[in-house]
Structure 1
Amino acid sequence: MNAPVRNPLCQRARLSLPSFMQIVAGFARGDSASRLSVEVGVSTKSVNSIYQRLRRRIARERERLNPFAPLSIVARERRVRGRRPQCGETVPRLVGVRRVQHQLVCEWVNADNASQAFRILYGQIPASRSLDCWGYQGLIDLDTGRVRRLCTSPHSVASDPLHPLSLEQLSASIRGRMVASQGWPKTHLYLHLKESEWRHGYLGRDPLPDLLKLLRACPI
């Protein structure tokens, strides 16, 4: 009996290395788990499990660029349209963005600052210096697609809506992933957000080589 081929990219995978490589390549292309399961010949549950582990690895890598601490999102907490959030409530659909070198990193706005951030986003109050301590250079409302720049320095997010480092392009990338995946589960909002942020950095480029390099350094 032939011994199974060791998979250096996944520590607990029962799949062969070629099958696992097909799944990783499908994830890089943005294929759905159901479509990829038919192509590889494994269950959709197995593909989704590997997809989630890839998202966790990507999120952990992106957090090295991210100056904000990740916030845990409770599934039942959501924004109610037409109701202004109160201080202390979690509003997971409001995203703060900051430029780090040639990358855009994003994070859910802190619950304690959500009420003021929404008023700034919709022009009810002017942006104040208190935003500097948040570290945000822009705000995005994922429900409506509205964006607001908070900083106009040369090293902030781009002002040209067509520039890859603009809030408009990042918002389009995030909403595009939401449509492609037919919505995000509330329990995994953070992982999907970081995946969208990661994919946005590869507009027009193939992310597979860098993803394989990441898995070789830190297997899932």
Structure 2
Amino acid sequence: MKNKYLKGAHLSERKFKEILRLFADDLTATQIADISGVSRVTINSYLKKLRNQIARFCEAQHPVPVPVVAYDNRQVETQTDHDGDTLVAVKPEVDRLVKPVIFGICRIADRLHTEILPDVSRPMIHAATRGRSVLETLDTTERLRRFNGVVDLGQYRLYRLGASTTDTVSGGPLMDDVDAFWGLTKHRLAKFKGLNRNTAYLHLKECEYRFNHRNDDLYSVLLELLKNYPLTLS
């Protein structure tokens, strides 16, 4: 069955476009399956591939090469829950046992970029926000200075860092966009009822993609992305 957006699928292009539009409307996998009549397992498989494609696009747009992030000696890109969008919250009371997911946010020109920071700890963030020189010995200060804010997902908290709070292009408040992005991300993760650290990267990049295209028709943008870089089931 010919489908220029999803190669190797026994699914019509019309049906795939319906699924893509529901994804663009930010529905969960369960909702998409119920509305489209396609099985939840199939929807999860498609959304996993779509999120990986979105993540690759975001990586290509990042002005600074980002190292591959890994947890438990496995690449994040290859990790997903067995049930896709059903996420398990990382709650504060288990923070002593589970290392929190920490990521940085920076704005360059008119786009926001995110980067998971597996080697940055909560004490390092606290030291950076207080301007403590102890970070110099940990070789972390310069790296953190690239970001306008850092988020600790274990506490669902945004920390403002020392980067300029004024956009040198427009003269407007730079942190407005950072705050708006964090608001979007919190809302989306809450809708999925928490966060599994193994899916954090893909969901974070999806939030980044959605935010940077917030003034566009996301469905049309996704169609153009998949026209140039179609998904494949192989």
Pair 182,113 (structure 1): closer, same or farther in 2 beyond 3 Å? closer
Matched residue type, 2:216 = R
Deviation at 1:209? 1.1
Distance 2:28 2:94 in 1: 33
Matches within 5 A, 1:57-72: 57-66=53-62, 67=64, 68-72=66-70
1:46 pairs with one of 42, 45, 48: 42
Deviation at 1:139? 1.4
2:157 pairs with one of 122, 132, 145: 145
Secondary structure of the residue aligned to 1:140 is strand
Deviation at 1:173? 1.0
Deviation at 1:79? 8.4
Report Cα offsets for 1:92-148 as digits up to 9, x if no partner.
Answer: 2x2111212211111112415664224324x37379785334532321223232321
Report the count of equivalent residues.
206
Distance 1:215 1:71 in 2: 25
Q: Is the 8 A contact 1:90 1:114 kept in 2?
A: no
Which runs of 5 or more residues in structure 1 are unaligned?
none
1:107 pairs with one of 92, 115, 121: 115
Q: Look up the match of 1:25.
A: 21
| Runs of 4+ with deviation above 4 angstroms | 78-85, 126-130
Q: Look up the match of 1:181.
A: 192
Deviation at 1:195? 0.5
Work out whether 1:119 is the aligned partner of 2:127. Answer: yes
Moved more, 103-112 or 126-135: 126-135
Distance 2:34 2:56 in 1: 29
Matched residue type, 1:146 = L
Aligned-residue Cα RMSD (Å) equals 3.1
Pair 79,30 (structure 1): closer, same or farther in 2 beyond 3 Å? closer
Distance 2:94 2:33 in 1: 41
Q: TM-score, with normalisation over the residues of structure 1?
A: 0.79
Secondary structure of the residue aligned to 2:56 is helix
Matched residue type, 2:47 = Y
Q: Look up the match of 2:217.
A: 206
Distance 1:159 1:207 in 2: 26
Which runs of 5 or more residues in structure 2 are unaligned?
73-78, 80-89
2:206 pairs with one of 176, 195, 201: 195
Moved more, 144-153 or 206-215: 144-153
